[in-house]
């Protein structure tokens, strides 16, 4: 498993794509029953983009992103990488705290992971 994404990326922005590329590839690889699926990641991505589209009205929903992921973990098979994705994203979600800059950087970080997941043939 790649190392943890530092919380500083939320306040400072992305300075190195290496770790995000590692996470995207890691989440896409493995047994088909365990790898993070495109539908799982897109469902969460859709919720993030909805908040981004109307941040002023929906910023209070940022905190609800974590339970959405927890629900996906609960629905998945034991050992699925959605659990590791949840573990990686939870501290980041909690640190956003309705801060617009941190949320913008979170969206950029997440977009990069989605792109690298797809590039690694995520299914």
- The whole-angstrom separation of Cα 107 and Cα 4 is 17
* Predicted model pTM: 0.91
Q: What is the mean pLDDT of the chain?
A: 92
Reduced to 3 states, what is the DSSP secondary structure of residue 18? helix
Average pLDDT value for residue range 75-104: 92
Q: Are 88 and 109 a contacting pair, CB within 8 Å?
A: no
Q: Is the pLDDT of residue 123 over 70?
A: no
Give percent of the chain with pLDDT exceeding 70. Answer: 98
- The whole-angstrom separation of Cα 99 and Cα 90 is 16
Q: What does the pLDDT look like over 10-61, one tens digit per residue?
A: 999 999 999 999 999 999 888 777 888 888 888 999 999 999 999 999 999 9
Give percent of the chain with pLDDT exceeding 90. Answer: 76
The tokens for 32 are 């088909």
Predicted confidence at residue 52, as pLDDT, reads: 97
Grade residue 113 by pLDDT with cuts at 50, 70 and 90.
very high
Distances (CA, A) of 35 to 17, 39, 82: 21, 11, 8
Beta strands in 3-72 (DSSP E): none
- The whole-angstrom separation of Cα 73 and Cα 81 is 9
- The whole-angstrom separation of Cα 62 and Cα 59 is 6
Average pLDDT value for residue range 72-101: 92
Q: Are 110 and 45 a contacting pair, CB within 8 Å?
A: yes
The tokens for 24 are 């995207």
């Amino acid at each position: 498993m790649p190392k943890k994404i530092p919380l500083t990326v939320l306040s400072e922005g992305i300075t190195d794509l290496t770790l995000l590329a590692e996470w995207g590839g890691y989440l896409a690889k493995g047994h088909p029953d365990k790898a993070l699926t495109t539908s799982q990641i897109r469902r969460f991505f859709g919720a993030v983009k909805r908040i981004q589209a109307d941040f002023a009205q929906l910023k209070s929903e940022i905190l609800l992103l974590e339970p959405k992921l927890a629900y996906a973990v609960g629905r998945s098979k034991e050992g699925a990488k959605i659990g590791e994705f949840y573990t990686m994203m939870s501290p980041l979600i909690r640190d956003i705290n309705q801060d617009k800059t941190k949320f913008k950087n979170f969206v950029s970080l997440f977009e990069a992971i989605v792109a690298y997941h797809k590039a690694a043939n995520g299914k």
